[in-house]
Amino acid sequence: MKKGLFITIEGMDGSGKTTQINMIRDYISEKGYNVMLAREPGGTKISEKIRDIILDPANGAMAAITEVLLYASARAQLVAEVIKPAVESGSVVVCDRFIDSSFAYQGFGRGIDIKTIADVNRAAIDGMMPDLTFFIDMSPEIALKRRMASSEADRIEKEHMEFHMKAYNGYKELARLYPERIKTIDGNRTVEEISQEIRKWLDTVV
């Protein structure tokens, strides 16, 4: 039985997701809700171990379908341990990346059949489809420039620009297909302008 709310944030690495997630947490808590943050891949002890395997730059030989299954495994554990119990107890869960990342990166990016990803993930998410998803729209070139200054690149980040471009276009396609759930937020603006638009959408659900 579902009582709370499940919100996800998607977009390129470097698009400013973390800043907006913290803003969403503060805004929803101020409204009196219990908020829980999560991130993918990871968020539980087991999921973090799976994350290390996925992102290890030494694992370049990983088959695309292995990657799909590992992301789905990490997701299944996060759903079972964190997301489902929290939402069922009435909390608002805000997750940094979720199923749309698999559609965008493994589906549109790596060319794995979308139906295969949907099938595998149906089992993983156990009915926990996000109620609302924010796609922070920033091109991979700009997002990469913003990331340059920060830490070393992981295996996915090291992929060439063409892969990230496919994933980015994949997000745009997903947003076009599911406009009720996925809200496209122009990420090329000030933090305040972006969070103002996000707050406007949040007001419609909390």
Which alpha helices (DSSP H) does the chain contain, by range?
17-30, 45-55, 64-78, 84-88, 99-101, 114-125, 140-148, 161-177, 191-202
Nearer to ligand TYD, 5 or 40 (CB): 40
Q: At its nearest, how many Å lie between ligand TYD and the CB of residue 118?
A: 13
Q: Are 126 and 81 in contact (CB under 8 A)?
A: no
Q: At its nearest, how many Å lie between ligand TYD and the CB of residue 157?
A: 5
Looking up tokens 């969403």 gives 24
Residue among 73, 91, 102, 184 that touches ligand TYD (CB under 6 A): 102
**Which amino acid appears at position 29 of this protein?**
S
| Torsion of Cα atoms, 62 then 72 then 22 then 193, to 10° | 80
Nearer to ligand TYD, 4 or 98 (CB): 98
Interface segment toward ligand TYD; rule CB under 6 A; list 36-44, 57-65, 82-90, 175-183: 36-44
Q: At its nearest, how many Å lie between ligand TYD and the CB of residue 10?
A: 9
Give the number of other Cβ atoms within 10 Å of residue 121's Cβ: 21
Q: At its nearest, how many Å lie between ligand TYD and the CB of residue 61?
A: 17
List binders of ligand TYD among 52-91 (CB under 6 A). Answer: 55, 71
Site for ligand TYD contains 156 (CB under 6 A): yes
Radius of gyration for the alpha carbons in the chain, expressed in angstroms and rounded: 16
Query: Nearest-CA neighbor of 101 among 1, 192, 182?
Result: 182
Phi, psi of 4 (to 5 degrees): -85, -145
Nearer to ligand TYD, 50 or 202 (CB): 50
Query: Nearest-CA neighbor of 133 among 28, 23, 17, 41?
Result: 17
Residue among 41, 43, 170, 187 that touches ligand TYD (CB under 6 A): 41
Q: At its nearest, how many Å lie between ligand TYD and the CB of residue 189?
A: 21
Residue among 77, 84, 97, 137 that touches ligand TYD (CB under 6 A): 97
List binders of ligand TYD among 105-134 (CB under 6 A). Answer: 105-106
Q: Are 40 and 97 in contact (CB under 8 A)?
A: yes
Binding site for ligand TYD (CB under 6 A): 13, 39-41, 55, 71, 97, 101-102, 105-106, 154, 156-157
